[in-house]
Structure 1
Amino acid sequence: MAEPVLSLKDVAVFQKENMVLNDISLDVKPGEFVYLIGKTGSGKSSFMKTLYADLPLKQGNGRIVGFNLKTLPEKDIPHLRRKLGIVFQDFKLLPDRNIHNNLLFVLRATGWKDSGKMDTRIEEVLDKVGMKTKGFKFPHELSGGEQQRIAIARALLNDPELILADEPTGNLDPQTSVEVMKVLQEINKTGRTILMATHDYALILKYPSKTLKCDGNKVFEVIQKAG
């Protein structure tokens, strides 16, 4: 059996001193597509932040892409994030530079040096999300759906073992949400693991998959009833 990409045992999630979630035990296996659902304020974002070490893991044991979240030294957080692709609801693109340079910035920040290799990699990830011709555009020249595709391309740059998508369709209309979802589905088909926080139940019905729910300070798997 392959090692889980993410394994949590008796984990509690804290925002400062407040315990937001507790008693979480779960595994995510390589290649899975997993939804994380729950009402606003149910702890989804805090859960995600704990996974990419924005919030420290104070209680319980957690491993993600080979890193121990409990004992992770601060200096290793960038190494962890290199093995994760993180997609945010609000794109987080740098407005003062074009798409190519947005992606270049991330590669440089994560230790790439060879400009030829960087250009090739940028072209590859833009191609994967159907945005190959948009590298010279600035973020404000793109629609919300296009910006989110770029954000997904950015998450793919370092060939991550796990993509954490936090409400990636939260700011998009239903049609665009489906288009972005298709991109994520395609990426998942190439064997990448995706954990996606969402409250878009229409997408979950359209693309059913393993679903975890945040509710009442817990995270548990919801068994989908077959239509």
Structure 2
Amino acid sequence: MADVILELKNASIFQRENLVLSEVNLRVEKGEFVYLIGKTGSGKSSFMKTLYGDLPLKQGEGSIVELDLRTLKEKEIPGLRRKLGIVFQDFKLLPDRTVNDNLLFVLKATGWKDKDAMQARAEEVLEKVDMKTKGFKFPHQLSGGEQQRVAIARALLNDPELILADEPTGNLDPQTSVEVMKVLQEINKTGRTILMATHDYALLLKYPSKTLKCDGSKVFEVVQRSV
């Protein structure tokens, strides 16, 4: 039996009172790379926010990294986010801190105490994304692609079971998008599960994988034609 990292059954996703997606049934297994596609406004972001506890799951069943989304309490959200790595389109790096301090800030906030262990972990994840020599720089001194690499490194800090990448190439040019995608592919090869919301269809063609689509308030799997 494969390990199920994420499963939704007859789930309805709301943005405040508005129903965004209904009758969502899906499962994502350990080690999969899954795309989530759909037009702007089709519910991709609301879907992602429900998965990391920003929006409550009000109807249906849902579990993610062994936590029940339906009964998730406010105080359990930090624990959920420690088991997830989240990568945002706009990087969300702290502008007044160096790359290294951005990472240390997250480690401290998630309960790490040992300074040497924290520093070693920060260097380890930066090395994974080819940014080990840039730890002393501030975000504004980096290109968009470099900032996104740091954001991916940050997502890896607590060795997450699942990485949620919400439009991670949305602010990047095509060449840089491919470079960031290669980093995500390498991470996926180490056995980590990745769910990536995107509207960059060029990447889907270049790196075909299981694809879910948000459309008409539903989420369904799309069979990619070979190209």
What TM-score range do you get, normalising by the shorter chain? over 0.9
Q: Aligned partners of 2:73 and 2:46: how far apart in 1? A: 20
Q: Tell me if 1:20 matches 2:20.
A: yes
Partner of 2:175: 175
- Which residue of the partner structure matches residue 94 of structure 1? 94
Question: Is the partner of 2:160 in helix, strand or coil?
Answer: coil
The separation in 1 between residues aligned to 2:97 and 2:72, in whole angstroms, is 33
Identity between Structure 1 and Structure 2 (%): 79
Q: CA deviation at 1:2?
A: 2.7
Task: Give the aligned residue type for 1:79.
Answer: G
The aligned runs of 1:1-227 (5 Å cut-off) are 1-227=1-227
Question: For the residues of structure 2 that align with 1:178 and 1:2, how far apart are their CA atoms?
Answer: 30
Paired with 2:167 and 2:102, the residues of 1 have a C-alpha distance of: 21
Structure 2: runs of 5+ lacking an equivalent: none
* Residue identity opposite 2:11 in structure 1: V
AA of the residue aligned to 1:164 = L
Structure 1: which 4+ aligned runs deviate by more than 6 Å? Answer: none
CA distance, structure 1, for counterparts of residue 127 and residue 221 of structure 2: 34
The Cα shift of 1:3 comes to 2.7
1:86-145 deviation digits (Å, cap 9, x = unpaired): 000000000001000000000000000000100000000000000000000000000000
Deviations 1:64-97 (A, max 9, x none): 0010000011101000000000000000000001
**In structure 1, the residue corresponding to 2:4 is in which secondary structure?**
coil
**Aligned counterparts of 1:16 and 1:41: Cα–Cα separation in 2:** 15
The aligned amino acid for 2:172 is L
The AA in structure 2 aligned to 1:197 is: A
Aligned partners of 1:226 and 1:172: how far apart in 2? 26
TM-score, structure 2 as length reference: 0.99
Gaps (5+ residues) in structure 1?
A: none
Where 1:5 maps in the other structure, the secondary structure is: strand
Q: Secondary structure at the match of 1:45?
A: helix
Deviations 1:194-221 (A, max 9, x none): 0000000000000000000000000000
Aligned counterparts of 2:225 and 2:2: Cα–Cα separation in 1 = 28
Deviations 1:36-79 (A, max 9, x none): 00000000000000000100000000000010000011101000
Aligned AA for 1:101?
D
